[in-house]
Structure 1
Amino acid sequence: MRWGKAMLVYNRKAGKEKAGQLGDAVAALAGEVGELTLVQTAEPGDGEKICRERGSDYDLLLVLGGDGTVHECINGVAEAARPPEIAILPGGTCNDFARTLRLPMQVGRAAEEVLAGRVHDTDVGRVNGRVFTNFVGIGLITDTSENIDSDQKERIGKLSYFLSTLRTLRQAEPFKFRLKHDEGTVDSEAVMILVANGRSLGTAKLPFAGSGVHDGILDVLIVREAGLSLAWQVINGGDLTDYRESGGVIEYIQTSSLLVDTDEPKGIDSDGEIYLQTPAEISVQPSKLRFYYGPETTQGSLVDSLAELDTRSSID
């Protein structure tokens, strides 16, 4: 047996909408686990509670769900004395951190990648005492998350994020902030501050160099009002070389820690979950947890894309 004990935590929607994929994951992994425990969440916060109370009892933690479920479970195990190895089985709308880990977007195929054994020490972030894997956002990015229509999200999946972005862009208002980082202070106005550990946002690949989750550094993007349309071009595949600490409409900073204060308290989006407010104390924790990864290069991306389009439901 590869693992003595493993726990698979899955969002309650998996029981109805993802039953087939849950079965695929169990079928792929059961032969390599001496004892496989399935635990279903019933309400928000359950994933964190379950993983905090029981995570250290297992060699492997499997999380089946979207970015919200991953966020909960990671906060449950991050401070464990002996945290388990972690495998994400992407079952949500965007699955952004799973994309950073190069995992297939189908649960059964992701479970097969776990068997390949590519497990690596991985950076996570911390904001106001909470852990994040992918990103922290203030301003436009938080407003976009808050403006998502939940019914629309159920019907059309990740397209709902793009529609919410379009609605939010028309209403974006600048805010005053002060940002202290490793090498100085920025005192200005912005419509958005993005702090990234991962490399995907709303399924779009972020244009930062490297994998991000192995370098002990956070990538910070400050977008001022005049640079709003340009910023979205950059986020969707542009080059940040000319914007590094430029002080212009877009400013790009790399730092291991930062402190952000705003003129008025603003909501903080942490991996798509909004429950914190500024001021924000943010840092990276290098090589904090061990995650399973997909291959360095992925073949058959068209097949993955078609499979994603065929997905009619999501788990958060």
Structure 2
Amino acid sequence: MVAHQRKNLGGGLDELRRRITDEGVDELFWYQVPKSKKAPKQVRRALKEKPDLLIVWGGDGMVQRTLDTIAGGKRGGKVPVGIIPAGTANMLASNLGVPDDMAGAVRIAFHGRRHALDLGVLNGEHFAVMAGIGFDGAMIQDADGKLKDRLGKLSYVYTGLRHIDDPAPKARITVDGTPWFSDDATCVLVGNVSMITGGITAFDDAKPDDGWLDVGVATARGAVQWARTMGRMAAGRSADSPFVHMTRARQIDVKLEEPLMYELDGGAREAVKRIRVEVAPAAVKVCVPRQRSDS
């Protein structure tokens, strides 16, 4: 068990410990961290115990750092991961059908299906939901920390409004070795799943186990164009927007004329002028709800 001690769900970590014990666990290794950046060290400690199951408690940032550590470790993605979604957005859990209630999430961790998931790899770091540079990265950067703790999901709306008039540098994007886009871009998103913060479907056909990553480029500028873009995403297919370009790829190279912030699964990273994103097929095993066809 690796837990973000500042996150909360239901009766908190005391309830979680009781529910894990009720599952008949004889040997429980328990690690807590004050922030998600501290998770990799504790995950590596946990993996040395050769666990049958690793449970992660926290939000998307905690899950991302856990999966990145597992995928890059000696055992690869062999250790199944159960997610207890105690964060702000919990985008991976939502896309996988893991509920935000304690009992349901614990039940899936112990009795769900162990399903192999792809991960994206951006500049050497794995992500499970999506990566974004430009508008998305700046929004996440501003929402991090105390603002997100105070406003929750609304922090993304608040900070997003502050960046709708940000500059749109020229972007050159190559997909699988072929030039694909060369124009001004306000945001570049690479997704492994379909739904993003707020329940909006950004990538209509994305699946986290198909060996592909979905790519979206937004060219919207100002409040009117962004409103039209977001409205189209909420009401129909994202690709139908005149301010969105979309494709699928296994490798994506993005070159910008000026450095911009980027984010991985809701966690802000430094400003860069170039990113490379690749798919890592079946990189980890995650506990998901059983389907009716499962025996």
TM-score range normalised by the length of the shorter chain: 0.7 to 0.9
Structure 1 CA distance for aligned equivalents of residues 245 and 226 of structure 2: 12
Structure 1 unmatched ranges of 5 or more: 1-7, 298-316
Instruction: Letter of the 1:229 partner, please give it.
Output: A
Residue 260 of structure 2 is aligned to residue 274 of structure 1: no
Structure 2 CA distance for aligned equivalents of residues 95 and 149 of structure 1: 15
Residue 173 of structure 2 corresponds to which residue in structure 1?
A: 179
Aligned pairs (5 A) from 1:143-182: 143-148=138-143, 150-169=145-164, 171-182=165-176
2:226 to 225, 228, 237: 228
Structure 1 CA distance for aligned equivalents of residues 200 and 291 of structure 2: 15
Runs of 4 or more above 3 Å deviation: 149-152, 240-243
* Sequence identity percentage: 25
Aligned pairs (5 A) from 1:134-149: 134-148=129-143
Asked whether the equivalents of residues 104 and 294 of structure 1 are also in contact (C-alpha less than 8 Å), the reply is: no
Residue 42 of structure 1 corresponds to which residue in structure 2?
A: 34
2:12 to 13, 21, 28: 21
Structure 1 CA distance for aligned equivalents of residues 193 and 95 of structure 2: 6
Cα distance change, pair 99–278 in 1 and its aligned pair in 2 (3 A)? farther
TM-superposed deviation, 1:198: 2.0
Structure 2 unmatched ranges of 5 or more: none
Residue 52 of structure 2 is aligned to residue 52 of structure 1: no
TM-score by length of 2: 0.87
Question: C-alpha offsets along residues 39-58 of structure 1, whole Å, 9 cap, x if unaligned?
Answer: 11134522011113432521
Instruction: Letter of the 1:28 partner, please give it.
Output: R
RMSD, aligned CA:
2.2
Structure 2 CA distance for aligned equivalents of residues 194 and 150 of structure 1: 22
Structure 2 CA distance for aligned equivalents of residues 24 and 281 of structure 1: 41
Asked whether the equivalents of residues 263 and 269 of structure 2 are also in contact (C-alpha less than 8 Å), the reply is: yes
Structure 2 CA distance for aligned equivalents of residues 29 and 44 of structure 1: 22
Aligned pairs (5 A) from 1:2-17: 8-14=1-7, 17=8
Question: C-alpha offsets along residues 176-204 of structure 1, whole Å, 9 cap, x if unaligned?
Answer: 11000025331111111111012332232
Residue 112 of structure 2 aligns to a residue in which SS?
coil
Residue 207 of structure 2 aligns to a residue in which SS?
coil
Residue 193 of structure 1 corresponds to which residue in structure 2?
A: 188
Structure 1 CA distance for aligned equivalents of residues 144 and 71 of structure 2: 31
1:253 to 247, 255, 267: 247
Instruction: Letter of the 1:74 partner, please give it.
Output: L
1:68 to 53, 61, 66: 61
